[in-house]
Structure 1
Amino acid sequence: MRILPRLFAIVAALSLLTQPASAQSVLRDAETEALLNDMAAPLVAAAGLSPGNVEIVMINDRSVNAFVAGGQAVYIHSGLIEKADTAAEVQGVIAHELGHITGGHVITSSQGYAKASRISILSMLLGVAAAVAGAGDAAMGVMMAGQQAAMGKFLAFSRVQESAADAAGAQYLSKAGMSGRGSLAFFKKLQSMEFRYGVSQSDDAGYGSTHPMSGDRIARLTRDYEADPAWAKPDDAQLQARFERVKAKLAGYIQEPAQTLRQYPETDTTAPARYARAYAFHKQALMDKALSETDALLKIDPDDPYFLELEGQVLLESGRPADAIEPLREATALTSNQPLIASLFGHALIATEDKSHYAEAEQVLRAAVARDRLNPFAWYQLGVIYAANGDMPRARLASAEQQVMSGQYTEALRSAQAAEAGLETGTPDWLRAQDIAMQARGELERGKKRK
C-alpha cells in the first residue's frame, strides 16, 4: 500500500463522485427497496423530480456514507442504515443527497477539479523551471505549495456544494411536511463520530475537509428546522416500524451470527428480532431454528409477502426447493410479481429438477427480467431454463445479459456473438445480442486505454 500524492488524491476524490459503485457490491432486497422508495417519494416530489426517475441504491459497505452518481441515483451505504435509529434520520440524508442532484453537483464537481488542476499544473511547470535553473529546494517548495493550494481549492469548492445540499435538503423536508428532527439527529451522530476519531472542531479545521464541520451545520440547520411549521410533527409510525424490520434483516444478513444473537436475543419476540435471528440461524445452518422464527413471523401475519419470501429462501437454500415453491409462489402473487421475489421463485422451480415446473419457471423469469433488466441472477436462471429446453441461442443471450452486468466483458462479448449467430436476423433478441456485443467491446477498449 502507498499514499497517493495530493494531486492524484484530487483525481481519486472526483472519481468516487462519478463512478461510485463500480468497485462496490449492491445489496438488493425487495422489502428494503420498497421501503427506501416509499421513504424517498415525498422528498423526490418536493425536489421537483419524478419518482420513477430517481433510484435509491444500497451499497454493501459498513462505513457511514451516502452519495450521488451520474443521473439521478442516490447510493446509501449499509453502514448508514446500521447507524441510523429512525427512518426520519435516513430521510434527512436522502433529502440532502437530492440537493446534490438538483444542484447538478456531480457535473459541477468537474469545474472545481479543473480549477484545482490548473493551479497544480502551473505549480509543476514553475517547479520544473526552478529545477532547471539549479534551485532544487525551491522547485520542491513551489510544487508542494502549488499542490496544497490545489487541494484547498477543491476542498473549498466541495464545502460550498455540501452547504448548498444542506439548505436544499431542509427545503425539501419542509415542503414534504416532514420534521427536521431526524436530520439533526443524524448530524449529531456524525459529530459524535468526529469527536471519537479526534477530528478537530476548531474554526480552521474545516479548511482541510470536503464537508463543513458538523457543529456548524447543526447550528445553521437547527435555526431553519425549528422555525419550520413541521418541526413538532411526529414521525411516520408505519415507516418507522418498517424501518426497524429492514434494519434487523440487514443486521442478520451482514453481521456475524454471534453478534446478531447478542443484539437480538431469543427473549426478544418482536418481528424485527425474529427476522434477524432467522438470518443468523440460517447462516449457522440451523435450519430448524431458522424455520421456527419464520413460522412465528407468519403467525403474526400469514399474508405478509416478505415473511413468506424469507420462509421460501430458508427452505430453498437448505436443500428443500419443493417445499419452498408454495411460500414463494404466494409471495410473488402478493407482490404482483415483484422481480426479486419472482426470481427466487423461478430458482426454486428450477432447483426441483422436475421438468414439469420448467414452463412456469420460464414464464416467471421472463416476466421478472421484463420489469427489471438489471437482475443478473434472474438472467442466469433464465439461461438455465433456455439451455434445459434446448434453446441455446437464447441461453447464450441470457448469459451475455448476466455477464455484461457483472463486468465480465470478454465472456459477454463471446456469449453475445454466439447468440447473434444462432438467432433469426432482425428479431428483437438478435438486435439485443448486437447491442450487448457493442457494449462489451466498448468497455474492453476503455479498459485498454485506462491501462
Structure 2
Amino acid sequence: MPATSVPSSPDTAWKVRPTVGRRWVGRALAAGLAASFAIPPQVAVAANVNIVRDAETEALIQDYAAPLFKAAGIQGRDVQIFLVPDDRFNAFVADASRMFINTGAIMTAETPNEVIGVLAHEAAHLAHGDLAGIRNSIANSTTAALIGAMLGVGAVIAGSSAGLKGLGQAGPGIVAGSMHAAQRNVLAYARAQEAAADRTAMDYLAATGQSGQGMVTVLERLANQVLLSARGADPYVQSHPLPADRVRTVAALASASKFQGKKDSADLQQRHDLVRAKLAGFTLTPQQVGRRYPQSDNSLPARYARAIAAYRSGALDPAIKRIDELIRADPDNPFFWELKGQALLEGGRPTNAVAPLAEAVALRPTSGLLRILYGQALVATERRDNIELAVKNLTVGLQMDPDVPVGWRTLARGFALIDNLPRAELATAEGLFVLGNFGEAKIHARRAQERLKTGTPAWLRADDILTYRPPSSR
C-alpha cells in the first residue's frame, strides 16, 4: 500500500469523536434506557452521541470515580467513562460498563465534590443494575398495555356487533388508559430507582470520607432551573422525583453525615479549576473566555483558558508565549507541555512539537493519549529517524487506549513511511474496526494477512478481524 493512501493529516488530543459504527451506543441510547442524573433518559440521550477525548480531563474524572467504584464493589477497569461535548448539566449510564458525563456538568460544577456527587449517583445505578430493571419494567408494562389494548379493541368490536353504542365508545378509552397506565408503571419504577440511587450515592460518599454537600448543591441548582416548568407538573408522569423532593431528601442525608463539613483538598480543587478552564478554552469563543476569565484574573486556570483561546484563534506565537508562562509556573504539569506540543503541531510546526510532547510523555508515561499525540508529531516530521520512535509510542499508546482511530491511522502512515506495508494494512484495518466499519476492516486485514508470517501476533490479529462476526441488532 503506498504511503499516499494512508491519511496524513495530524489530529490532536482534544477532538470530538463521533460514535460512528459504535453500535452499542446507537442501540443503548436509542432505546432511551439510560439512567440519567439530571433529566429523563428520553430527553438526555439520542440515537448517536459524540464523545470528546482529553487526557487531563479523563484522568481527573477517573480519580474522582475510583474510590466510589471501590465502595460500590465495581471493578474500575470494567467501566469506561466518556465525555460528551454538551454544555448542559447531565450524566448517565447507558449499560453496565459505560458511563457518560457532559462537559457542561464539569464546567458548571464549582467544586470537585459536586462532580463526585454526580458520579456517586451514577455508580449507584451501575451497582443496582438499574438498566436491566428498567428493561424488565418496560417488558412487563408492555405486556399489560397489550392486554389492555386487546380488551379495548374487543370492546369496540363487541359494542359494534351488539349495537351497544356506549360500549363501543368505551373501547378507545380502555386502549388509551392501558397505554397511559403502562407508562406510569415504567416511570414509577424509574422514580424509585432514582431515589434509591440518591440514597446509595450518599452511602458511597460517606464510605469514602467525602461530603454530600456537593450533591445537594447540584440538586439545588437543578431545582432552581426547572422551578417554573415543574409547577403544576404531574409527579406521576416524571422519571425522577420532583426536584424539591430530591433536595429535601438528599440534604437530610448529607446533614447527618459526619463528613458534611469536609472540603476538597487544595490540590484537587486546583486540578478541577484547570480542567474547567481547559474545557472553557476549547468550547467557548474567545470573547466568552474573556468574559469568564478577564485579564484581571491572574490565576493559573484563567491564564490556561486564555492561552487555549489564543491558540484556537490562530495567534500561534502569542499563544506559545502564554503557554511558556504556564510551564514556567508549573514545569511538572504534563498537560501544559501537551498544550504547547498540540499548538505547534496544529500550527504546522511538527518538528518543534516533538520536544514538548516528549516531555509530556516523560511526566505522564501511563497516558495512552499523550503517547499517541507524541507519535503523531513524530510521524508528521516525516524524518525516518523519528518514525521508529513514533511506531513504538503509537503501539504502546494504542495498547493502553485502543479506541482512538486517529492513532491507528497515524500508525499506518508510520509503517508505510518505513515501507512496512503489511503492518500499515493491519493498522488501517484496526482503525476501521474501531469505527465499526467491519467490511472495510476485513479487506485491509486480508491484505495484511496475505503478506504476514503465519502464526505471528500480527497475523493472528488480522485473523481476529477476519473472523469477527458483529452481534445482530434487534
Instruction: Give the structure-1-normalised TM-score.
Output: 0.90
**Which residue in the other structure is 1:343 paired with?**
372
Distance in 2 separating the partners of 1:312 and 1:161 = 46
1:165 aligns with 2:197: yes
**Equivalence for 1:192:** 224
**Deviation per CA, 1:292-332, whole angstroms, max 9, x where unpaired?**
22011012012321110001110110011111110000111
Q: Which residue of the other structure, out of 205, 220, 226, is the alignment partner of 2:234?
A: 205
**Residues 395-434 of structure 1: pairs in structure 2 closer than 5 A:** 395-434=424-463
Q: Of the candidates 14, 23, 42, which is equivalent to residue 33 of structure 2?
A: 14
Partner of 2:49: 24
In the alignment, the residues of structure 1 paired with residue 170 and residue 446 of structure 2 have an alpha-carbon distance, to the nearest angstrom, of 59
Task: Judge which range, 351-360 or 166-175, deviates more.
Answer: 351-360
CA contact (8 A) 2:415 2:424 kept: yes
Q: Equivalent residue for 1:283?
A: 312
CA contact (8 A) 1:127 1:143 kept: yes
Displacement of 1:54 after TM fit? 3.2
* Residues 38 and 407 of structure 1, relative CA distance in 2, 3 Å threshold: same
Partner of 1:148: 180
Pick the aligned partner of 1:120 from 145, 149, 158.
145
Instruction: Tell me by how many angstroms 1:53 deviates.
Output: 3.0
CA deviation map 1:221-264 (0-9, x unaligned)? 11211111111122222111100100110111112222122212
Whether the 8 Å contact between 2:230 and 2:242 is mirrored in structure 1 is no
Contact 1:21 1:59 in 2 (8 A): no
Q: Distance in 2 between matches of 1:381 and 1:186?
A: 41
Whether 1:65 aligns to 2:90 is: yes
Q: Which position in structure 2 is the counterpart of 1:227?
A: 256
C-alpha distance after superposition, 1:175-212 (max 9, x if no partner) = 111111111000101101112xx22245x632111111
**SS of 2:257's equivalent?**
coil
Report the counterpart of residue 274 of structure 1 in structure 2.
303
Q: Which amino acid aligns with 1:96?
A: H
Structure 1 stretches of 4+ with a deviation exceeding 6 A read 15-22
Tell me what 1:181 maps to: 213
Give the conservation status (yes or no) of the 8 Å contact 2:334–2:360.
yes
SS in 1 for 2:81: strand
CA separation of 1:420 and 1:122: change in aligned 2, threshold 3 A: farther
Q: 1:369 Cα deviation (Å)?
A: 1.2
Describe the shift of the 1:211–1:437 C-alpha distance in structure 2 as closer, same or farther (beyond 3 A): farther
Secondary structure of the equivalent of 2:372?
A: helix
Amino acid at match of 1:76: I
Distance 1:421 1:131 in 2: 67
Quote the residue 1:5 is aligned against.
none
Aligned twin of 2:76: 51
Deviation at 1:376, TM superposition (A): 1.7
Match of 2:58 among 30, 33, 48: 33
C-alpha spacing 1:425/1:132, structure 2 compared with 1 (3 Å): farther
Please tell me the residue identity of whatever aligns with 1:369.
Answer: L
Q: Distance in 1 between matches of 2:57 and 2:446?
A: 37
Change (3 A) 1:132 1:262: same
Q: Secondary structure at the match of 1:75?
A: strand
Question: Aligned equivalents of 1:88 and 1:240: distance in 2?
Answer: 9
Structure 1 residue 424 displacement after superposition:
2.5
Question: d(CA) in 2 for partners of 1:171 and 1:95?
Answer: 9
Whether contact under 8 Å (1:180, 1:225) holds in the other structure is: yes
Task: Identify which of 298, 301, 304 aligns with 2:330.
Answer: 301
Would you say the 8 A contact 1:275–1:294 is kept in 2? yes
CA displacement at 1:15 relative to structure 2: 6.8
Structure 2 residue aligned with 1:362, among 376, 382, 391?
A: 391
SS in 2 for 1:267: coil
Determine the C-alpha separation between the residues in 2 that align with 1:217 and 1:371.
40
Matches of 1:261 and 1:348 in 2, distance apart? Answer: 30
Partner of 2:276: 247
In structure 1, distance between residues paired with 2:217 and 2:312: 33
Provide closer, same or farther for how the CA distance between residues 358 and 21 of structure 1 changes in structure 2, counting only shifts above 3 A. Answer: farther
The whole-number CA distance in structure 2 between the counterparts of 1:118 and 1:223 is: 39
Aligned length: 433
Show the counterpart of 2:124. 99
Alpha-carbon distance in structure 1 between the residues aligned to 2:351 and 2:46: 36
> CA 1:341 to 1:67, structure 2 compared with 1: closer, same or farther past 3 Å?
same
Supply the distance in 1 between the matched residues of 2:125 and 2:198 (Cα, whole angstroms): 9
Contact 1:325 1:349 in 2 (8 A): yes
Q: CA deviation at 1:407?
A: 2.8
Q: Secondary structure at the match of 1:178?
A: coil
Structure 1 residue 93: Cα displacement: 0.4
Is contact 1:63-1:77 (8 Å) kept? yes
Secondary structure at 2:87 match in 1: coil
2:413 & 2:156 partners in 1: Cα distance?
64
TM-aligned CA distance change 1:381 to 1:234, over 3 Å: same
Kindly indicate whether the alpha-carbon contact (under 8 Å) linking 2:187 and 2:238 is maintained by their aligned counterparts in 1: yes
CA distance in 2, matches of 1:15, 1:338: 29
Question: Which secondary structure does the structure 2 equivalent of 1:26 belong to?
Answer: strand
Deviation at 1:20, TM superposition (A): 6.4
Alignment gaps of 5+ in structure 1? 1-9
Taking the aligned partners of 1:251 and 1:267, their CA distance within structure 2 comes to: 17
- Distance change in 2, residues 1:192/1:250 (3 Å): same
Secondary structure of the residue aligned to 2:140 is helix
- 2:244 maps to which residue? 215
Please give the TM-score of this superposition, normalised by the length of structure 2: 0.86
1:21 Cα deviation from its structure 2 partner: 8.7
Is 1:317 aligned to 2:342, yes or no? no
- State the partner residue of 2:470: 442
